[in-house]
Structure 1
Amino acid sequence: MAAVAALLLSVGACSSSEPSSSDSSSSKKISGKVTVFAAASLKESFTELGKKFEADHRGTDVTFNFGGSDALAASITSGAPADVFAAASDKTMKTVTDAHDTSGAPAPFVRNKLEIATPPGNPKKIRTLKDLTRPGTKVALCDKTVPCGAAAQKALDASGLKLTPASYEQDVKGALTKVQLGEVDAAVVYTTDVRAAGRKVEGVEFPEAADAINTYPLALLKNAPNAAAAEEFIALVKSAEGRKVLTDAGFLQP
């Protein structure tokens, strides 16, 4: 009887240990730093998603480098260590793909359209894109090499308008800041930036923006230091939860 009892205990111990061993081998945990290079217009939504990612994956640290897509692309092709690149246009992403610095083909994940930002109350009574060309009106634009600047120029060209801005900024947040500081009367930025600024600016929509909508591509980088975690971050961006965060920020679905 003693021998039988010992045998039963031994079998029970083995059977209870097997599931835990199987579970540990099937669950792949990720950890470490994830470096994301992203267009400045993604700052608010990606920061929110980064916090969500860290909460879901304890032991991870999502670090962002926000800026003009052209400058970010140049940094990547020059060897800057990064895991993920989210650009504000296909053209700037092409700089990275042409250098064979992506792992697989980039995928579009959102679109964005332009809007005019003015100080609260719209002191200059700007109602149309043409109003930006009125004498004495100070306007900030993104540099033409930056996606938001290229889109603004496309809208102006389509309307047959010529505009000499008071300043060219290296990214969309720079142009928006000029409005918030009262240094210009208006800036051509993205709808998402106007929404993110809240009551600090007033937005003016214009029909020509429909002809200059930018598509944002997302890619895992070829030499990603933390490819496993980077793939999970990309999955979060593309998930239903990620789409909701981006849509709530004003982005359009691709």
Structure 2
Amino acid sequence: MSFAEHPIACRSTRRAAAALFGAGLLALAATGCGSGPGGGGADAAEDRTLTVFAAASLTESFEDLGEQFEQEHDGVDVEFSFGGSSTLVTQLEDGAPADVFASADEATMDQVVEADLVDGQPEIFATNELTIAVPAGNPAGIASFQDLAREGVTTVVCERRVPCGAATERVEEATGVVLRPVSEESAVTDVMGKVTSGQADAGVVYRTDVTAAGDAVEEIPIPEADDALNRYPIAALRSSGDAELAREFASFVQGPRGQERLAEEGFGAP
């Protein structure tokens, strides 16, 4: 571990020891830094951090699963970075450190695989489908996907480059409807934010986002969304400092409790 990872006070102690007492006391000072409170003794050495990059639509379920995983693994701290899958892929390709990646579709996971960043094979752990979210009371009277193209209706969707946007495009093709959104967002949670804040009459989101929003929104189903189902893959990454722990988390998500929690949020089975 570099000196930069130690407290400043510890660094100062070492320098003073070197100047005043020579090499012998320098070693003693270093030992003191390592064994003192919060200094990284044997107990601290056992602490592990697992960094998970995950699609924004997984926020609620993964935060809960992370807590469960921590309870079963003493000394493990699970940290999450949620965002649009494409944005997360760019960060990983740029060298961002992470142990696990969970994407909202297979296309973005394929990019990570092609970049040789994945350890092993990705596994599908859930599915999700699009729906329409409208503010409580449905003030614009939206009744179908076709209504989103009506004159005067303000609709928000995901950018085409992210999974929810790509799925929206497939629904447009299936219905023959061409949307003219007032905004395209990089994450589905941002689309929902525009709806719940009253900035849009409707947003094309995942069913899981409607579940998470509760009474703040109403759902208008999209029958054609059955043909635009997104499959969610998860994989351990080569950059992980603890490959075994990364694989354990991926397996935990795919296991009974992981699947139960995902189902509670509205995710479909793999």
Residues 18-45 of structure 1 show CA distances to partners (whole Å, capped at 9, x for unaligned) of xxxxxxxxxxxx7400000000000000
2:254 maps to 1:238: yes
**What secondary structure is seen at the aligned counterpart in 2 of 1:106?**
strand
- Matched residue SS, 1:105: strand
2:121 is paired with a residue whose SS is coil
> Which residue type is aligned with residue 48 of structure 2?
G
Q: Deviations over 1:141-198 (max 9, x none)?
A: 0000010011011101111111110100010000000001100000000000000010
1:180 aligns with 2:196: yes
CA distance in structure 2 between the aligned counterparts of 1:45 and 1:119, rounded to whole angstroms: 23
Alignment of 1:21-40 (within 5 A): 31-40=47-56
SS in 1 for 2:252: helix
TM-score (norm 1): 0.87
Q: Could you tell me how far 1:204 is from its partner in structure 2? A: 0.9
Q: Do the aligned residues in 1 keep the contact of 2:235 with 2:247 (CA within 8 Å)?
A: no
Whether the 8 Å contact between 2:57 and 2:208 is mirrored in structure 1 is yes
Higher-RCO chain (CA-CA 8 Å, sequence separation at least 6): 1
Q: Which residue of 1 aligns with 2:267?
A: 251
- What is the deviation of 1:71? 0.7
Does residue 206 (structure 1) correspond to residue 222 (structure 2)? The answer is: yes
Unpaired segments ≥5 residues, structure 2: 1-45
Equivalent position amino acid for 1:67 in 2: G
Confirm whether residue 61 of structure 1 aligns to residue 74 of structure 2: no
* Stretches of structure 1 lacking an aligned partner (at least 5 in a row): 1-29
Segments of 4+ moved more than 2 angstroms: none
Match of 2:156 among 128, 134, 140: 140
* 2:10 aligned partner: none
Whole-Å separation in 2 of the counterparts to 1:85 and 1:31: 21
* Aligned-residue RMSD, C-alpha: 0.9
Which residue does the alignment assign to 1:3? none
| Matching residue within 212, 216, 221 for 1:196 | 212
Find the aligned partners of 1:233 and 1:246 in 2 and give their Cα distance.
14
What is aligned with 1:10? none
What is the rounded CA distance, in whole Å, between the counterparts of 2:200 and 2:188 in structure 1? 14
Identity over the aligned pairs, expressed in percent?
A: 46
Greater Cα offset, 217-226 or 111-120: 217-226
Q: CA deviation at 1:226?
A: 2.3
Q: Distance in 1 between matches of 2:59 and 2:67?
A: 12
Q: Distance in 2 between matches of 1:231 and 1:90?
A: 19
Partner of 2:179 in structure 1?
163
1:178 is paired with a residue whose SS is: helix
Quote the Cα distance in structure 2 between the aligned partners of 1:216 and 1:236. Answer: 15
Return the match for 1:116 from 109, 132, 135. Answer: 132
Deviations 1:98-131 (A, max 9, x none): 0010001111110000010000011111111000
Q: Which residue of 2 aligns with 1:75?
A: 91
Give the TM-score normalised by the residue count of structure 2. 0.82
Give how far 1:228 is off: 2.2
The answer as to whether partners of 1:35 and 1:84 remain within 8 angstroms in 2 is yes
Count of matched residue pairs: 225
Q: Is residue 132–residue 186 contact of structure 1 (8 Å, CA) maintained in 2? A: yes
2:205, 2:81 → 1: CA distance? 20
> 1:81, 1:225 within 8 Å by CA — same for their partners in 2?
no
CA contact (8 A) 1:31 1:57 kept: no
CA shift at 1:91, angstroms? 0.4
